[in-house]
Amino acid sequence: MNQRYSRIATFCLVFFSLLGTNQAVADLTAKDGWVRALPPTQPNTAAFLTLSNSGEKSIVLVDVRSEAAKKVEYHSHKKQASGMMAMRQEKSITIAPGAEFVFKPGSYHIMLMGLTKPLKSGNEVNITLVSQSGTEYPITLPVKSPMDEQNHQHHHHH
């Protein structure tokens, strides 16, 4: 009798530890990320990156934090009926299974408001994305000047 219970207990331990490991696998990966370097007088900047969801469920991002700024939010740029571009806060960002979500200039981006110190080209910024389920995805992005980006693209076309 005791041996049977011990086998069941072992099975449960192994089964639940496997379940736990599976959840610890990061389904969300970031690539091509950067934060825009601006003059020291600018209190706000933006971060851009591509997120990929390799999991089987949608990942809904509902919060974002960084020690580099007092306030961090997901924003979008959308054309209004008047033809003017307007920036607005997005409460959540959903990345479907197997899909990519791109934060890029003139579109969706991560706004860093009330910078705690000036960000210079070559610095790094730690940002934590937080999903609806409470999973935290820490990422580190390099700070680049918009000039670096133009030079990089210009260099690519030759």
Residue with tokens 């924003």: 75
Q: Are 145 and 153 in contact (CB under 8 A)?
A: no
- The whole-chain average pLDDT of the chain stands at 84
Residue extents of the structural domains in the chain: 26-145
Q: Which helix (H) or strand (E) holds 23?
A: helix 2-24
- Residue 26 pLDDT: 65
Tokens of residue 45, six digits: 């900047």
Considering only residues 92 and 5, tell me which one the structure prediction assigns the higher pLDDT: 92
Distances (CA, A) of 157 to 2, 104, 153: 72, 20, 7
Cα separation, 12 vs 93, whole angstroms: 36
74, 102 in Cβ contact below 8 A?
Answer: no
Contact 110, 126 (CB under 8 A): no
Q: Mean pLDDT check: name the lowest of 37-41, 66-70, 147-151.
A: 147-151
pTM: 0.77
Q: Domain 26-145 adopts which CATH fold? A: Immunoglobulin-like (2.60.40)
SS3 99: coil
Angle made by CA atoms 21, 26, 28, in degrees to the nearest 5: 155
Task: Give per-residue pLDDT as tens, 47-81.
Answer: 999 999 999 999 999 999 999 999 999 999 888 88
Q: What are phi and psi of 149, to 5 degrees?
A: -65, -45
Confidence at residue 149, expressed as pLDDT on a 0 to 100 scale: 54
Residue 86 has pLDDT above 60, yes or no: yes
> Hey, what are 74's tokens?
């997901």
Are residues 146 and 34 in contact, defined by beta-carbon separation less than 8 angstroms? no
Per-residue pLDDT reduced to its tens digit, 91-102: 999 999 999 999
For residue 83, the model assigns a pLDDT of 87
